[in-house]
């Protein structure tokens, strides 16, 4: 809570036990994987009563409880969880990808069922970069919304990691955009894997890919016509949109404020205090949604030397609420806008969490 207001986090990821990855590893090694164990009838092995892919209900519950404890320590009331982006692996063989999406969505659904007051789900879709469009993603999207009650969907700007997907303003994306508008759920844009050989020597090179792809997506969408085709579509971009403007506000190289920005939002998953403050300043409070990825990549402990603002020192960098509270440029009303009103506007499904 923040001064009596619920803190709503738009950026979280599923906390399935590590054994969940063994399921797709079996597919990689054998060249085949069957139906998600969660979707098999009761008594068919691994389904029905829950569990599958090496996951037991007990191990899933234990992992989910750790996630809850982590959120509680950071005063996060409700979190939207989706796939772990570096595990989306959209480059995989096309006959394996839909099954992996199904299994991942099933684990997200299990976590939501375990703690329905704390988690809301967002789908992973079998994006195929070379397809004519994303029509193949519609059935899994609709299953997530209709049957699982998911409140959003993840889209990767570059699912193959090879920079070969159409720009996010193009009609290639329209089948999913149309469904999002129809069902009143947003798109959450997150980078995934990066197979660019130039950066293969960099540890965690996928993080570099996140920056590149979310930056390109933010610019492509800001100048695109997708909101003219789908005026009810809402899009939130992870990690503050990847990168910020280096130009002054009067420069013609900078995105004009008000240029198709009404339905475009950015999260606060930026752990450097100066960078976070500048992102809020550049995008504007009305376009910022609270997002932490907790637990995720923000596990480094904030040091006293990191910034003049001492809020959060001695805790992990994803403990962002005290950082926002200490920013002299933000009023209490601004913080409430960021941690509650904007997330609710973008993800109205937050109202489901009781």
pLDDT (tens digit, 9 = 90+) per residue, 191-231? 999 999 999 999 989 999 999 999 999 999 999 999 999 99
263 φ/ψ sector (left φ>0, alpha ψ -120 to 50, else beta): alpha
pLDDT band at residue 306, thresholds of 50, 70 and 90? confident
**What is the pLDDT confidence band of residue 50, given thresholds at 50, 70 and 90?**
very low
Mean pLDDT of 283-289: 96
> In the prediction, which pLDDT does 353 show?
83
Note the maximum CA span of the chain.
66
The residue whose two tokens read 């805790």 is 315
Token readout for 98 is: 């839909």
CB atoms within 10 A of CB 170: 14
Q: How confident is the model at residue 53 (pLDDT cuts 50, 70, 90)?
A: low
Q: Is 184 part of any domain? A: yes
| Residue 76 in domain | yes
Q: Sorting pLDDT into bands at 50, 70 and 90, what band is 80? A: very high
* Percent of the chain scoring above 70 in pLDDT: 95
Q: Is residue 1 part of a domain?
A: no
Q: In angstroms, rounded to a whole number, what is the distance separating the alpha carbons of residues 213 and 158?
A: 7
Q: How many domains does the chain have?
A: 1
Work out the average pLDDT over 1-23. 94
Mean pLDDT over 234-261 rounds to: 87
Pairing mode, strands 264-267 and 8-13: unpaired
Quick one: what percent of the chain has pLDDT higher than 90?
83
Spatial neighbors of 34 by CB under 8 A, at least 6 apart, are 99
3-state DSSP call for residue 55?
Answer: strand
Predicted pLDDT of residue 177: 98
For 118-141, the pLDDT digits (tens) are 999 999 999 999 999 999 999 999
Could you tell me which residues are beta bridge partners of residue 81? 12, 121
Position 307 confidence tier, pLDDT thresholds 50, 70, 90 = confident
Q: Is residue 3 part of a domain?
A: no
In this predicted structure, what is the pLDDT of residue 48? 38
Residue 164 in any domain: the answer is yes
Which ranges in 186-291 belong to alpha helices (H)?
A: 205-222, 226-229, 273-283
Confidence class for position 2, pLDDT limits 50, 70, 90: very high
Q: What is the pLDDT of residues 141-182, one digit of tens each?
A: 999 999 999 999 999 999 999 999 999 999 999 999 999 999
- Does residue 44 register a pLDDT over 80? no
CATH of residue 282's domain is: 3.20.20.140
Across all residues in the chain, what is the average pLDDT?
A: 93
**Three-class secondary structure of residue 64 per DSSP:** helix
Confidence band (pLDDT; 50, 70, 90) for 249?
confident
Does some domain include residue 259? yes
Host domain of residue 253: 8-352
For residue 312, what pLDDT band results from cuts at 50, 70 and 90? confident
Residue 225 lies in a domain: yes
Decide if 2 is inside a domain. Answer: no
Nearest to 272 by CA among 243, 307, 299: 307
- Tell me, what's the pLDDT at 43? 52
Q: Is 0.85 topped by the overall pTM? A: yes
DSSP 74-114: TT--EEEEE--GGGT-TTS-TTTHHHHHHHHHHHHHHHHHH
Which residues, at least 6 apart from 15, have a Cβ–Cβ distance to it below 8 Å?
A: 63, 64, 66, 67, 81, 111, 295
- Res 47 pLDDT > 90: no
264, HSE (Cβ side, Cα atoms, 13 Å):
25
Element (H, E) at 333: helix 332-336
Angle, alpha carbons 129-134-137 (nearest 5°): 110
DSSP string over 171-182: GGGHHHHHHHHH
Strand, coil or helix: what is 288? strand
How high is the pLDDT of residue 254?
A: 87
Q: In the prediction, which pLDDT does 311 show?
A: 85
- CA 24 – CA 16 distance, rounded (Å): 13
Respond yes or no on whether the N-terminal peptide bond of residue 25 is cis (omega within 30° of 0).
no
């Amino acid at each position: 809570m923040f001064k009596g207001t619920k803190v709503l986090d738009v950026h979280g990821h599923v906390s399935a036990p590590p054994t969940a990855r063994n399921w797709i590893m079996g597919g990689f090694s054998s060249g085949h994987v069957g139906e998600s164990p969660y979707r098999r009838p009761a008594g068919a092995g691994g389904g029905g009563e829950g569990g599958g892919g090496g996951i037991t209900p007990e191990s899933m519950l234990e992992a989910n409880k750790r996630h809850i404890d982590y959120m509680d320590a950071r005063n996060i009331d409700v979190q939207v969880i989706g796939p772990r982006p570096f595990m989306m692996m959209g480059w995989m063989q096309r006959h394996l990808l839909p099954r992996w999406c199904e299994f991942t969505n099933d684990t997200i659904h299990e976590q939501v069922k375990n703690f329905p007051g704390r988690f809301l789900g967002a789908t992973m879709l079998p994006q195929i970069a070379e397809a004519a469009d994303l029509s193949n993603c519609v059935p899994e999207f609709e299953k997530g919304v209709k049957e699982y009650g998911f409140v959003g969907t993840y889209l990767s700007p570059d699912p193959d990691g090879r920079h070969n997907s159409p720009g996010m303003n193009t009609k290639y994306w329209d089948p999913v955009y149309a469904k999002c508008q129809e069902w009143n759920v947003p798109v959450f844009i997150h980078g995934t894997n990066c197979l660019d050989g130039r950066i293969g020597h960099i540890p965690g090179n996928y993080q570099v890919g996140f920056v590149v792809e979310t930056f390109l997506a933010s610019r492509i969408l800001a100048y695109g016509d997708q909101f003219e085709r789908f005026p009810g579509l809402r899009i939130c971009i992870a990690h503050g949109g990847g990168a910020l403007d280096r130009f002054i506000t009067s420069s013609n190289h900078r995105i004009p404020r008000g240029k198709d920005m009404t339905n475009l939002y950015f999260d606060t998953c930026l752990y450097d205090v100066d960078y976070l403050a500048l992102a809020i300043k550049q995008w504007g409070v009305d376009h910022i949604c609270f997002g932490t990825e907790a637990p995720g990549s923000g596990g480094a402990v904030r040091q006293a030397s990191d910034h003049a603002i001492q809020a959060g020192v001695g805790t992990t960098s994803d403990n962002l609420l005290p950082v926002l509270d200490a920013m002299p440029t933000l009023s209490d009303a601004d913080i409430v806008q960021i941690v509650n009103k904007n997330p609710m506007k973008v993800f109205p499904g937050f109202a489901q969490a009781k």
